[in-house]
């Protein structure tokens, strides 16, 4: 291949052009840092996790639990805060869907399209069960004490 190019250059048939000075690099993959779910679902998940901590913290009120509960709150803030910052980085043109758009379109998963009701159920099942479990443990602890 290079032999053919050298022959074209030697014969004077090659066309040499200058590299354009102000070209913007185009990436082959567009950056979409959006997770496809409305912000309200993330807020409900955070509320359930923090609600569980409030239930457990008040049921087993002990000064020794202050540091572990504070660490868990910081971990929850980091687990949801870092992706929230990540979605707002420069070069991310996508915005999170509103809840109305989510109800209309649903979400595409590896196994097919899910309706908003089914996706909401899948997202919130664990956090809601965690709150129910916290209430059950608090009731059992109150009965036993």
pTM of structure? 0.73
Confidence grade of residue 70 (pLDDT, cut at 50, 70, 90): very high
Domain ranges of the chain: 37-144
pLDDT of 1 > 60? The answer is no
| Best-predicted range by mean pLDDT (11-15, 51-55, 79-83, 141-145) | 51-55
HSE (CB half, 13 Å, CA atoms) of 65?
11
Taking CA atoms, 34 is separated from 27, 49, 91, 115, in Å, by 18, 22, 12, 18
Query: How far apart are the C-alpha atoms of 65 and 69, rounded to whole Å?
Result: 6
5-19, 40-54, 76-90, 109-123 — which is least confidently predicted?
5-19
Query: What is residue 17's three-state secondary structure?
Result: coil
What is the pLDDT, as a whole number, of residue 84? 86
The 8-class DSSP code of residue 19 comes to P
């Amino acid at each position: 291949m290079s032999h053919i190019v050298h022959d074209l250059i030697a014969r004077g048939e090659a066309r040499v052009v200058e590299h354009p000075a102000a070209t913007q690099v185009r990436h082959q993959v567009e950056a979409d840092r959006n997770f496809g779910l409305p912000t309200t679902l993330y807020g409900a998940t955070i509320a359930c996790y923090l609600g569980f901590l409030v239930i457990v913290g008040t049921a087993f009120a002990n000064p020794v639990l202050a540091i572990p509960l504070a660490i868990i709150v910081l971990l929850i803030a980091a687990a949801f805060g870092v992706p929230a910052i990540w979605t707002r980085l420069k070069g991310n043109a996508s915005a999170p869907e509103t809840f109305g758009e989510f109800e209309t379109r649903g979400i595409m998963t590896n196994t097919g399209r899910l309706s908003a009701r089914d996706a909401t159920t899948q997202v919130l099942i664990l956090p809601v069960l965690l709150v129910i479990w916290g209430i059950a443990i608090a009731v059992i602890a109150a009965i036993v004490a």
